[in-house]
Amino acid sequence: MLFEELGLSAELLRAINEQGYREATPIQQQAIPLVLAGQDVLAGAQTGTGKTAGFTLPLLQRLQASGSTGGFARVLVLTPTRELAAQVAESVRNYGRHLPFRSTTIFGGVSINPQKTKLRKGVDIIVATPGRLLDHIQQGTVDLSAVEVLVLDEADRMLDMGFIRDMRKIFKVLPTERQTLLFSATFSAEIRRLAADLLHGAREIQVTPENTAVERVSQVIFPVDKSRKRELLSHQIGAGNWQQVLVFTRTKHGANRLAEQLGKDGIRSTAIHGNKSQGARTRALADFKAGKVRVLVATDIAARGLDIDRLPHVVNYELPNVPEDYLHRIGRTARAGQDGHAISLVCVDELKLLRDIERLLNCAIAREIIPGYEVDPRIKAEPISNGRGQRPSGRGRNTGGHRNGNGGGRKQGRGGPQKSRPGNAPRKNTTGGKRRRG
């Protein structure tokens, strides 16, 4: 279906054309008419399906139709991470370039003062992470009384990261009469409960089968001893002449160490994770997209929301503790109709994690033995450690970063020092659980 058939305004169609798009994706075809009609929507969509444009385009048109509210925000988009917030904000700017609306992005890890300045000048659209937005609410520097539409983007990840308490505090200051759009990669019981609380007369759409991997991604397992993973990775990058590779580790320390080791192998690499400043993360991503860096080593949360066109290779250097995170990882490749390649380096310690992933996929992933890297059968499995000083974990939720570093939460130090809780320590995944601090 062409965008011209979806009832969008001339200004939006002009911006879409300038971005080089003509045909709407399935999520856009289903979501845009519903949002334009003012319906609440519960949408199941993996990353790479075009969901961001699926809500930004009709929201911009709704702003066109509703007129001015004197500088008060009319649209609020909540996202789990800084990177996803930046991506949504970029979409708003690109598609709204011929419209007079002002938007701002609010997240932690950067100074709050420039954000206050923009809010004082008045904005129409706010894209925010929950923790930093709550800081503004508590300081009285943001007014959400005129919000007409609330969007929860990647709501499943926000719940996984422990943001539910912050989110509920934000919901309390929003108008009860509003349109709400909830996007989630999966529809867990927690997501269903949240939707029941927030949505009214919602239309449900699902553009990908629940909990299935991206069909255009070829997946393969390379069995290898843990001590030889880095050697095998360097070998594959060199032998295959891979020029752009996104590599996932479980921990921030592991990401730093691997990037440094690959650099010693002559492969220019950099790491991106929650302990990096926002400036460092932005530079690392820009260098990777520009081809200045060959390998980007990332933890799960830091990579959430990364939008990299034509990314050919994703490597699971370490399998995630949660099977669903495997889907999010490999969903970084095979975007926009491109084919992708996902490989996983699996040692004996990770065989249970692999079984859980294959159970989720409902199929076995192909194994390939690389000559010279055969597994030593004498090596016995050991418990998986989730970071320095952390107890081993089997299936705890692995988030790969701390709250303030990734979700834009409030600064540490209120009420005294807080103990850091690494994001990949096990915890209960419930909407009523404690908010992750860090």
Tokens 């752009």 sit on residue: 244
- SS3 sequence, 337-356? CCCEEEEEEECHHHHHHHHH
Q: Tokens standing for 360? A: 């989720």
How does DSSP classify residue 276? Answer: S
27: left (phi over 0), alpha (psi -120 to 50) or beta: alpha
Tokens 């601090």 sit on residue: 437
Q: Which CATH number is correct for 217-367, 2.60.40.650, 3.40.50.300, 3.40.50.12640, 1.20.5.510?
A: 3.40.50.300
At residue 269, φ and ψ (nearest 5 deg) are -140, 160
Beta bridge partners of 105: 127
Tokens 């950099």 sit on residue: 270
281: left (phi over 0), alpha (psi -120 to 50) or beta: alpha
What is the model's pTM?
A: 0.61
Tokens 């016995």 sit on residue: 380
Burial (CB < 10 A; 0-12, 13-18, 19+), residue 372, is: exposed
Beta-carbon-side half-sphere exposure of residue 311 (alpha carbons within 13 Å): 27
Q: Is 315 helix (H, G, I), strand (E, B) or coil?
A: strand
Handedness of CA 387, 393, 399, 402 (dihedral sign): negative
Domain 3-206 has CATH 3.40.50.300: yes
pLDDT tens string, the chain, 438 residues long: the values are 889 899 899 999 999 988 888 888 888 999 999 999 999 999 987 666 788 999 999 999 999 887 665 678 999 999 998 888 988 999 999 999 999 999 999 998 889 999 999 999 999 999 999 999 999 999 999 999 999 999 999 898 888 888 999 999 999 999 999 999 999 887 888 888 899 999 998 999 987 544 444 567 889 999 999 999 999 999 999 999 998 999 999 998 999 999 999 999 999 999 988 788 778 888 888 888 888 999 999 988 666 656 676 788 999 999 998 887 888 788 777 665 567 899 999 999 999 999 999 988 888 999 999 999 999 999 988 888 665 444 444 433 333 333 333 444 443 333 333 333 333 333 334 333 434 333
Q: Among residues 126, 191, 128, 127, which one has the least CA distance to residue 155?
A: 191
How does DSSP classify residue 263? Answer: H
Cα(384)–Cα(315) distance, integer angstroms: 19
Handedness of CA 290, 295, 298, 304 (dihedral sign): positive
Outline which parts of the chain fall under CATH 3.40.50.300. Answer: 3-206, 217-367
Instruction: Give alpha helix (H) positions in 178-277.
Output: 189-198, 229-240, 252-264
Identity of the residue numbered 303: A
